[in-house]
Each structure stands twice: as C-alpha cells, then as structure tokens.
Amino acid sequence: MKVLVTGATGFLGSHLAKRLAKDGHEVFCPVRRERKIQGCKTFFEDYKGTPFEDFNENVDVVFNCIGHISDHLSAKDLWETNVTLQGKLLEAAKKLGAKRFVHISSVSAVGLDGKDSPIKEGDDLGTGLGYGDTKRAGEEVVLGLGKKLTIDVVVLRPTLIYGEMKDGAMDKIYKILKTPLRMIGTGNQVWHMVHVEDVVDACLLASSKKGVEFQVFNIVGPDPITASEVVKIACETLGLKSKGLRIPTGMAFTIASACQTLWGRKKPPVSKFTCKLLCLSHEYDQTKAREQLGFNPKRSFAREVSLLFSTPRAH
C-alpha cells in the first residue's frame, strides 16, 4: 500500500510513519525542513499554497496528523491550520487518488469539562477554548467535504497521548516531578490517556476497516487513572518523595490566564488548555471504537508509566 502521512515529524506522526514502513508499506512524508524518517520517503512542503502540488505520486491512503495543539495562538492562526488547511489537505488527497483519509482530531473537539459518566462521541460539552472549537470545525469540514468529493473519511479523537520520555505527556510530567510541585488540582481527577502505539493501531484499523466511513471514534487507553496514582507510581520509580507542593485548581487557572496575557503570542509555561487537561476529570466511552472499529488498546497506563519512568535518561 502507498500512503502519505502529514505531521510525520510530530509525536504521533513519527510513530505512525515508522510502523507503516516497518509493515512494508511505501510511505511518503511531507516535511517543512530536510529531515530523514526511517524507512520513509520525504519531500518538501510548507503548506503555504495548494498542498502537494509538486508531488507526483498516487497514494491509497492519507493519514492526516497535522494541526496546532495549542490555545495561545491567535484565533486566525488556529483556524487557518486546524480548519482551512484540513479542507485543502482533503482536496489534495483526492487529487492523489486516495480512497481513504484518516483524520486525527482530538477529544478536545467534544469538550474538556469533566462529567460523571464516560463522554461519548455524540456528546457536546462545549469546548470553551479556541483549540477545541477549531478541532470540532475541522472535523465538520473533512466529513462534509469527504462526502462531496466521494473520498472516505474516518475521524479519530485520541485523548492525551503518551509514550517515550523524550516526547509527549510523560516528559512534561517528569519535568514537573523534578521540581517541588507534585499536584495541580485535588489529585482525584481522572486522566484517561492512551499510549502512542495504541493510537497507531487505531490508525491502521481506520485505514482499512469497512463500514466505518464518515464515523468519529474516541481513541483512549484501556483504563483511566487518577492523577494521584500517576504521581505515586512515577515518584516510586524515580525514587522521589510523593509529597510536595500542590496548586489548587482555581489558582492554577488564575496563573494560566496571567501567563497567557503576559506571554502574548509566545508559548506560555502553562495555559488554560493545559489546566483543563490536568485539573478536570476526563473519562471517555470506548464502546463505539471497540464494537465498530475493532479497537482494543493493549497498553495499561499504570504498567507503561512504571516502564517509562524506569528508563534511564540522559538528563
């Protein structure tokens, strides 16, 4: 199979591209700067004009992992990348002969305000953030345009993705634990995270499964876990004290708002989006992905956290 992976230099995209190449597929990766990706063919693309104009290959599937993951950028910048560009990418995929477009969205599209019962794909909690609003709008664009262009679209909504220490959520947690800070919020909030290799599994299923066209799926790990449990496991593995400074939820949001104001369009040390991820409970329903997509995540968060934090670090 010939495939194209956008965002292949990012956390998820790089793992996906490498797995596809390992499985024997011919993988093409557009990149903004010259960079080698193991087993893949790269070509330059800055996404400023019509995507892939100088790319002369036909592909079977496009995996779209590109997007801004932020809430500190201007509304215009977020919309341009997370909405407008997504439509252009789908149109380009059609011209390349792709039969399926696997679109990576986010659970932020349904909203991050915690609720007691697991959040389903059809729920709309209101995002309250520019990032979530644009992810929802981006989904609507590719789903609507896909039907018009007759190219199958499957939307995946991963929750917070973790994996190697050098990337993703685990590195952020490690850096926090190396300070006196131990907790933001009560510690009872539930985090429903997903291992990057499980998300890759979901992408592969979405690329070939019949009967899931124009569907949206929550992609989460097998077991939610409380923030306190994460800190306890990590501290035990790292040989650190589990007790330390705790910042209450209200104070965390106040600090985040101040940081976003002071830093302007630059990336702040903490944002309201980060606070929502860390301070509120988020548990997502897995029924639809399991029954329709055949997705069964294999990697337990509690076990993987222990393995990740026990891996030697160079810093």
**Residue 287: its pLDDT value, please?**
96
Domain residues for the domain of 210 are 2-162+194-221
Q: Which residues contact 272 (CB under 8 A, 6 or more apart)?
A: 71, 129, 253, 256, 257, 260
Look at residue 293 and tell me if it is in a domain. no
Residue 308 lies in a domain: no
Strands (E), the chain: 2-6, 26-31, 41-44, 61-64, 100-104, 152-158, 161-162, 181-184, 190-191, 194-195, 216-219, 225-226, 245-247
Contacts for 192 with CB less than 8 Å, ≥ 6 apart: 159, 220, 221, 224, 225, 282, 283, 284
Distances (CA, A) of 204 to 97, 285, 289, 295: 19, 20, 13, 10
Domain assignment present for 80: yes
The pLDDT of residue 240: 82
Give the Cβ contact number of residue 259 at 10 Å. Answer: 17
Kindly calculate the radius of gyration of the chain based on its CA atoms and give it in whole angstroms: 19
The CATH number of whichever domain residue 50 belongs to comes to 3.40.50.720
Decide if 148 is inside a domain: yes
- Domain presence at residue 21: yes
Q: How confident is the model at residue 315, as a pLDDT?
A: 34
Say if 12 falls within a structural domain: yes
Number of domains in the chain: 1
60: left (phi over 0), alpha (psi -120 to 50) or beta: alpha
Residue 92 lies in a domain: yes
Task: List Cβ neighbours of 307 (8 Å cut-off, separation of 6 or more).
Answer: none
DSSP state of 181: E
On whether residue 11 sits in a domain, the answer given is: yes
Q: How many CA atoms lie within 13 A of 118 on its CB side?
A: 16
Cross-strand partners of 2: 26
Please give the chain's pLDDT, 315 residues, in tens: 999 999 999 999 999 999 999 999 999 999 988 778 889 999 999 998 899 999 999 999 999 999 987 766 788 889 999 999 999 999 999 999 999 999 999 998 987 666 667 889 998 877 667 888 999 999 999 999 999 999 999 999 999 888 875 556 666 677 777 788 888 888 898 888 899 999 999 999 999 999 999 999 999 999 888 989 888 888 887 788 877 888 898 998 899 889 888 888 788 888 888 888 788 888 899 999 999 999 999 998 778 877 776 654 433
Please, are residues 21 and 33 in contact by the beta-carbon 8 Å criterion? no
115: region left, alpha or beta (phi > 0 left; psi from -120 to 50 alpha)? beta
Please give the pLDDT value at position 179. 80
Q: How would you classify residue 39: left for phi > 0, otherwise alpha for psi between -120 and 50, otherwise beta?
A: left
